[in-house]
Chains A and B, each alone.
Chain A
Amino acid sequence: NVVVEAPKQSINNVTGMKQKLKELQQGLDWVERLDLTNPPAPPPPGSNETEGTEGSGVAETDNDFKRELRFYRQAQASVLTGLAKLHKLGIKTRRPDDYFAEMSKTDDHMKRIREKLLEKQQGIENRD
Chain B
Amino acid sequence: TSDEPPAKQSRWINKQRALIFSSRGISHRARHLMIDLRTMMPHSKAEPKMDRKDKLFVINEICEMKNCNKCVFFEAKKKQDLYMWVSNCPRGPSAKFLVENVHTMSELKMTGNCLKGSRPLLSFDNAFDDEPYLSLLKELFIQTFGTPNHHPKSQPFFDHVFTFSVTDNRIWFRNYQILEEDGSLVEIGPRFVLNPIRIFEGSFGGPTLFTNPHYVSPNTHRQLIRRQVAQKYINRVH
Asked if B14 lies at the interface with its beta carbon under 8 angstroms from chain A, I say: yes
What separation, in Å, do the CA atoms of A34 and B178 have in the docked complex? 15
A46 to chain B, nearest CB (A): 16
Chain B interface, DSSP helix/strand/loop, else mixed = mixed
CA distance A41 to B133 in the complex (A): 25
Q: Please provide the chain B residues from 56 to 87 with a CB less than 8 Å away from any CB of chain A in the complex.
A: none
Q: Which residues of A sit under 8 angstroms from B199, Cβ to Cβ?
A: 17
**Chain A 13-40: CB-based contact to B (< 8 A → 1; otherwise 0):** 1101110110111101001111111110
Instruction: Given A13-B210, A104-B39, decide whether A33 and B136 contact each other with a Cβ distance below 8 A.
Output: no
> With contacts A32-B14, A103-B114, A103-B116 known, is A13 near B123, CB below 8 A?
no
Interface SS of chain A: helix
Task: Point out the residues of chain A lying under 8 angstroms from B208, CB to CB.
Answer: 11, 13
> Given contacts A12-B133, A28-B14, is CB(A75)–CB(B176) below 8 Å?
yes
* Chain B residue, CB-CB nearest to A37: B124
Which residue of the partner chain B has the closest CB to A115?
A: B108
**Are B146's CB and A71's CB within 8 A?**
no
In the complex, chain A residues whose CB is within 8 Å of the CB of B161: 75, 78-79, 82
A88 interfacial by beta-carbon distance below 8 Å: no
> Does B194 make an interface contact (CB < 8 A)?
no
Residue B23 at the A interface, CB < 8 A?
A: no
Q: In the complex, A109→B178 CA distance in Å?
A: 19
What is the interface residue range for chain B against chain A? 35 or more
Contact residues of A between 63 and 112, Cβ < 8 Å to B: 67-68, 70-72, 74-80, 82-83, 86, 92-95, 99, 101-105, 109-110, 112
**Is B228 in the interface zone, CB < 8 Å from A?**
no
Separation of A113 and B105 alpha carbons in the complex (Å) = 11
**Selected contact of B157 from candidates A17, A58, A78, A93, CB within 8 Å:** A93
B residues 102-130 touching A (CB-CB < 8 Å): 105-106, 108-109, 111, 113-117, 119-126, 128-129
A121 at the interface (CB under 8 A from B): no
Among residues of B, the one whose C-beta sits closest to the C-beta of A21 is: B136
List chain B residues, Cβ under 8 A from A37. Answer: 123-126, 128-129, 138
How far in angstroms is the closest Cβ of chain A from B133? 6
Q: Does B201 contact A (CB under 8 A)?
A: yes
Are A78 and B123 in contact (CB-based, < 8 A)?
yes
Q: Of A12, A67, A72, A99, which one neighbours B185 at CB under 8 angstroms?
A: A72
Per the bound structure, the CA–CA distance linking A112 and B39 in Å amounts to: 19
Given contacts A93-B157, A116-B108, whether A34 and B128 have CB atoms under 8 Å apart is no
Verify if A52 is at the interface (C-beta below 8 Å from B): no
Nearest CB to that of B127 among chain A residues? Answer: A55
A93:B132 contact, CB within 8 angstroms: no
Known: A10-B213, A12-B211. 5 other contacts (CB 8 A): A8-B211, A38-B124, A38-B126, A71-B165, A78-B161
Residues of B within 8 A of A (CB): 13-14, 39-40, 88, 91-93, 105-106, 108-109, 111, 113-117, 119-126, 128-129, 132-133, 135-136, 138-140, 142-143, 146, 148-149, 155-159, 161, 163, 165, 167-168, 172, 174, 176, 178, 181-183, 185, 188, 199, 201, 207-213
